[in-house]
Amino acid sequence: MKALILVGGFGTRLRPLTLSKPKPLVEFANKAMILHQIEALKAIGVNEVILAINYQPQVMLSFLEEYEMKLGIRITCSVEIEPLGTAGPLALAKQKLIDEPDEPFFVFNSDIICDYPLKEMIEFHRGHGGEASIMVTKVDEPSKYGVVVLDEETGKVKTFVEKPAAFVGNKINAGIYLLNTSILNRIQPRPTSMEKEIFPSIAEEGQLYAMVSMGFWMDIGQPKDYLVGLRLYLDYLRRNSSLELAVGPNIIGNVLIDKSAKIGEGCVIGPDVVVGPSCMIESRVRLSSCTLMKGVRVKSSAHVSGSIIGWHSTIGESAQVSGMAVLGENVHVSDTMFLQGVVVLPHKEIKSHFVKPAIIM
């Protein structure tokens, strides 16, 4: 069985982190985003993953080479000369996908983190006998999204409604598909939208079905949603995984700390915190609802909350970083500084307070 992951382009929504790494290689819970997906695919029998990519393909492949051997799965690239949307890449990779013409294949949007109910999706797809299955998830505010209207008993998709003003349903496209290879005959290698062009035509023919995911789900392609997704994922680990979360008198809620990180005395960490490899957390530090990437140093009595701190950055003594701040790689915040909601490009030194959101270039 094969899968295609829509890796996409420049990752502008997650800058400044994506100025240092392609978005799928940015860590989420101490693991590259794309590895969460590849491991889930491997677990249900996928033996080849094709990355549809138009930005830094060699960087991606170089990173994933070691995981080919480690996971026992083939990883290849299908490189776009120009962006082809969410459907065009399937046509471009057609020859890679039709080696097994009777075997359906998965398509993932690379920003999605969830509990990956892929085995259930295979059973659902084989059960309905249609051409395509999409995973949908329930949301509280469907007016913000494109809503999938479906027959609640059979799962057959009736129509799609983009950002409905009146309530028509609360289920949205979750960005994971299982498709028969016949769908490749519908798509040309040009910029095409799977969601706006291909799926509506399949639905009109009664060949599109939607499986409702009952687990957690989040598109983590921008900082606010990244941190929400982190909270959901850590809660999922607490309930379902053998992966050990941190415990101790100064740990609050769900916290993931890499074994190589050093934690000083008197720190209070949590809830919803990830501390990356080789981080140095000095004494009396307070961390909450945040991610520290590899090699971050937080000096004594500093406070980081609701923020993402990029690789090898330093937070000065008694400094405060909060309010959805995102610091790029190798950013150094001086002692006692107050940063609220800032976005800081890589390799900067911060010696002034920022009490309002700003982009520091």
Domain ranges of the chain: 2-219, 244-360
pLDDT at 91: 74
Provide the pLDDT for residue 69.
82
Number of Cβ within a 10 Å radius of residue 79: 15
Which one-letter DSSP state was computed for residue 184? Answer: G
How many angstroms separate the Cα of 195 from the Cα of each of 85, 124, 201? 10, 20, 10
* Domain boundaries 244-360, CATH class: mainly beta
Interior angle at CA 9, CA 237 and CA 323, nearest 5: 55
Residues 6 or more apart whose CB falls under 8 angstroms from that of 101 comprise 181
Structure tokens at 15: 């800058």
Q: Return d(Cα 96, Cα 98) in angstroms, integer.
A: 6
pLDDT of residue 289: 95
Q: Say if pTM beats, i.e. exceeds, 0.95.
A: no
In whole angstroms, give the CA distance from residue 309 to residue 291: 6
Are 212 and 11 spatial neighbours (Cβ–Cβ below 8 Å)? no
**In a 10 Å sphere around its CB, with 0-12 CB exposed, 13-18 middle and 19+ buried, how is residue 351 labelled?**
exposed
- Rounded distance, CA 46 to CA 63, Å? 20
Q: Residue 286 is encoded by which pair of tokens?
A: 């307070």
> Which residue matches tokens 């299982």?
178
Both tokens assigned to 35: 């590895």
Going by C-alpha positions, the residue among 136, 108, 111 that lies closest to residue 124 is 136
Give the pLDDT of residue 9. Answer: 64
Class of CATH domain 2-219: alpha beta
> Quick check: 85 and 60 in contact, CB under 8 A?
no
For residue 192, the 8-state DSSP code is B
- Per-residue pLDDT tens listing for the chain (361 residues): 889 888 876 657 778 988 888 888 899 999 999 899 999 999 998 988 888 887 667 777 787 787 888 888 888 877 777 777 777 777 777 777 776 667 898 999 888 899 999 999 999 998 888 889 999 988 887 777 778 888 888 888 888 877 766 677 788 888 899 999 888 888 877 788 888 888 888 888 888 999 999 889 998 888 999 999 999 999 999 988 767 798 888 999 999 999 999 999 999 999 999 999 999 999 999 999 999 999 999 999 999 999 999 999 999 999 999 999 999 999 999 999 999 999 999 999 999 999 888 888 8
Contacts for 51 with CB less than 8 Å, ≥ 6 apart: 4, 5, 7, 24, 34, 57, 60, 61, 64, 75, 76, 77, 78
Q: Quick one: DSSP state of residue 25?
A: G
Determine phi and psi for 79, rounding to 5 degrees: -95, 125
Residue 24 near residue 129, CB atoms below 8 Å: no
Q: How many CA atoms lie within 13 A of 64 on its CB side?
A: 29
**What Rg value do the Cα atoms of the chain yield, rounded?**
22
Torsion on CA atoms 21, 26, 27, 28, rounded to nearest 10? 170
Name the residue type at position 181: T
